[in-house]
């Protein structure tokens, strides 16, 4: 599950210590010297990525999301960031999802757990 957003805050300014997470690993990502985002717990049963989706689309040429973002107020100037969570079977079961039909009724609860309990940006 994911959410796309723009921010006037420089996401590169945050440090590993600013992220409160149950993930063992936290990695600040760069490509050719340019900050591209963060990854948390990659390879685990629950992981997260926060990355510059605008940059990814520019490189891939897949600009189909521009229309969606524009319809929601994006003016085409700011970067769009994506926070996405990947949950494997065990965490899904713990959150009440045993089969596909369980997913939709539990989406809000799953997102709240991921974005409010599992990974939190806590800057003093």
Show me where the domains of the chain are located: 2-121
The per-residue pLDDT for range 29-82, each reduced to its tens digit, is 999 999 999 999 999 999 999 999 999 998 898 888 999 999 999 998 899 999
| Structure-token pair, residue 81 | 């960031």
Distance in angstroms between the alpha carbons of the first and the last residue of the chain: 28
pTM: 0.90
Report how far residue 22's alpha carbon sits from residue 97's, in angstroms, rounded to the nearest whole number: 20
| Three-state secondary structure call for residue 30 | strand
9-35 mean pLDDT: 94
């Amino acid at each position: 599950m994911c959410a796309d957003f723009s921010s006037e805050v420089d996401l590169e300014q945050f440090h590993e210590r600013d992220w409160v997470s149950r993930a063992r690993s936290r990695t600040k990502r760069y490509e050719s010297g340019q900050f591209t985002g963060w990854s948390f717990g990659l390879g685990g049963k629950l992981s997260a990525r926060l990355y510059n989706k605008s940059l990814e689309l520019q490189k891939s040429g897949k600009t189909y999301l521009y229309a969606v973002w524009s319809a929601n107020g994006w003016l085409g100037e700011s970067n769009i960031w994506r926070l996405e969570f990947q949950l494997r079977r065990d965490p899904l079961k713990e959150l009440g999802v045993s089969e596909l039909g369980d997913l939709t009724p539990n989406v809000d609860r799953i997102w709240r757990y991921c974005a409010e309990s599992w990974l939190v940006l806590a800057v003093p």
